[in-house]
Amino acid sequence: MKRGGIGRALARVPYLEILRLPGALGFSLAGFFGRMPMSMFALGTVLLVAAVTGRYGVAGLVAAAGSVGYAGCAPLAARLADRLGQDRVLGPQAAVFGTATLGFVAAAQARAPLWVLLITGTLAGATMPSLGPMVRSRWGTLLSGSARLHTAFSLESVADEMIFVIGPALVTLLATDVHPAAGVTAAMLLCVTGTAAFAAQRRTQPPPAGHPRRPPPAAGLPPATGLPPAGLSAPGLPAGLPGRPARARMPARGLVTLVPVYWFIGSMFVSIDLSTVAFASAHGHKSLAGLWLGLYALSSAVGGLWYGTRSWRTPLGSRFATTLTCTVAGVATFWLVPGLTVLAAVMLVAGLAISPTLIAGYGLVAEQAPAGRGTEGMTWLSSAISVGAATGSPIAGHLIDALGARWGYVFAAGCGGAAVLTCLAGLRRLRTRRAGDDGADSADVPPAAPRAAPGRVIPSSPDRRAVRSDHESGRVPRRAGG
């Protein structure tokens, strides 16, 4: 193939298409480094506290306190970011997080009492910026009305998986070979630096709630087909799900289903981690546990990359339920494997559906959340996973200590099964208005005349074909906040 042909072929790669948009590569890269602590901070806390106290139980308690602090405060910070702008929230938050982390490290090094470690650890976790939802919120703003939005969410989920491959290995190396506090300190420096770089890129951040929307910069990308995107809703109502007031109690009705589902998913994942370490130890190869978990994450990244290159007509809610079921079906086989080699093979296959599940979940919230609450909505999901991990860890640990690694895998499968049942019970709440979700998803929503965006006149006819025709041309207003 000639050089020009190769260049044209690469230009059509969906991931390269979206990264060429103005500012996209910059905020995605800054977000990657800024959220490295999500795979480093809790483990670094365990390694630091265990090194100075010699007690892993105390270390796990302090780490759990930090996770609960993060889960409780992250949605509040996200709501402020939606209201005031990401840059006005992230700068002070990163500064407080850096200071709180240094205080926690100093307290641990001074062998302070447990209550001091719990307070400083909780404060550090509570103030840690949650950049994952904010990055996705920027993509939602940049690609509103484009079929490439799920490609962007796929890219970020793959980045998350890479973070969980790189982060634990890096923090363990620093804490064991350099200094016990080096892992936590490195996580803090990556977070503060990445957050500062991310917040400085104001041009791509979603406009604060109530501010007029800017013209969509994603011209040239394929539009979503079918019904109009969120942002064209009934007169007098916010963008997102019709009929919901602007300051609804929850940013999206699907969160009533998704939050408990993600809670169970968090418990499932942490149980898999602990059980894999115990399983490898029982087979005399504890050092392989990290490699096996890395393969599991790598498999998830491969699944996410493939998912993001596809154009989907299946409703988002159905996709989420299907991929979640596939993920759990794979986990349900872990307790049966006879040895480490078979476990690695099963994990490589079972991990393929993880990223597509998480991508669909974030996509559901992005589609349902009204303008100005997208970041808050997606942060609820990451918080639910953190709480699930914090609550599932001691239960799984007790089962492993008492009955062995296989029962830890059984508990993981049970958590996964509970997630599937919860999802199916609340599937109706996972309906959206978006075209890629098929028209059937909006059958329970009465037709309404679209609302005109600034500088644009929309026919008042209720005939949706007129709206669909204009939408397919790519001339659609942009929805703030994801």
Task: Output the average pLDDT for the chain.
Answer: 77
Choose among 125, 129, 143, 24: nearest CA to 87. 129
Range 447-471 average pLDDT:
35
Residue 128 pLDDT more than 90? yes
Question: What residues contact 115, with CB distance under 8 A and at least 6 apart?
Answer: none
Range 106-127 average pLDDT:
93
Query: Which among 294-298, 307-311, 345-349, 383-387 has the top mean pLDDT?
Result: 345-349
Report pLDDT for 152.
85
Could you write out the three-class secondary structure of the chain? CCHHHHHHHHHCCHHHHHHCCCCHHHHHHHHHHHCHHHHCHHHHHHHHHHHHHCCHHHHHHHHHHHHHHHHHHHHHHHHHHHHHCHHHHHHHHHHHHHHHHHHHHHHHHCCCCHHHHHHHHHHHHHHCCCHHHHHHHHHHHHCCCECCHHHHHHHHHHHHHHHHHHHHHHHHHHHHHCCCCHHHHHHHHHHHHHHHHHHHCHHHCCCCCCCCCCCCCCCCCCECCCCCCCCCCCCCCCCCCCCCCCCCCCCCCCHHHHHHHHHHHHHHHHHHHHHHHHHHHHCCCCCHHHHHHHHHHHHHHHHHHHHHCCCCCCCHHHHHHHHHHHHHHHHCCHHHCCCHHHHHHHHHHHHHHHHHHHHHHHHHHHHHCCCCCHHHHHHHHHHHHHHHHHHHHHHHHHHHHHHCHHHHHHHHHHHHHHHHHHHHHCHHHHCCCCHHHCHHHHCCCCCCCCCCCCCCCCCCCCCHHHHHHHHHCCCCCCCCCC
Query: How does residue 247 score in pLDDT terms, banded at 50, 70 and 90?
Result: very low
Distance of CA 309 to the CA centre of its chain: 19
- Is residue 262 situated within a structural domain? yes
- Greater confidence (216 vs 429) lies with 429
- Is residue 303 situated within a structural domain? yes
- Is residue 2 situated within a structural domain? no
d(CA 122, CA 70): 8
Query: Which among 34-38, 59-63, 184-188, 457-461 has the top mean pLDDT?
Result: 184-188
Lowest-confidence region among 87-101, 130-144, 210-224, 379-393: 210-224
- Is residue 260 situated within a structural domain? yes
d(CA 325, CA 161): 20
Report pLDDT for 435.
42
Query: How does residue 136 score in pLDDT terms, banded at 50, 70 and 90?
Result: confident
Q: Determine if the pTM surpasses 0.75.
A: no
Report pLDDT for 112.
92
- Is residue 468 situated within a structural domain? no
- Is residue 453 situated within a structural domain? no
Lowest-confidence region among 138-142, 271-275, 376-380: 376-380
d(CA 403, CA 482): 45
- Number of structural domains found in the chain: 1
* Model pLDDT for residues 327-373, shown as the tens digit of each residue: 999 999 999 998 889 999 999 999 999 988 988 888 888 787 776 67
- Is residue 99 situated within a structural domain? yes
* Model pLDDT for residues 1-51, shown as the tens digit of each residue: 455 554 454 445 778 888 888 888 999 999 999 999 888 888 788 888 888
CATH of the domain at 414: 1.20.1250.20
Report pLDDT for 95.
95
d(CA 202, CA 84): 12
Half-sphere exposure of 432 (CA within 13 A, CB side): 35
Choose among 172, 179, 136, 131: nearest CA to 154. 136
Report pLDDT for 432.
66
Range 53-61 average pLDDT:
77
Range 265-271 average pLDDT:
88
* Residue ranges making up the domain that contains 355: 25-208+220-441
Looking at the chain, the whole-number percentage of residues with pLDDT higher than 90 is 26
Report pLDDT for 110.
92
- Is residue 395 situated within a structural domain? yes
Residue 418 pLDDT more than 80? yes
Residue 390 pLDDT more than 80? no
Whats the size of the chain, residue-wise? 482
Query: Which among 94-98, 214-218, 234-238, 424-428 has the top mean pLDDT?
Result: 94-98
Query: How does residue 211 score in pLDDT terms, banded at 50, 70 and 90?
Result: low
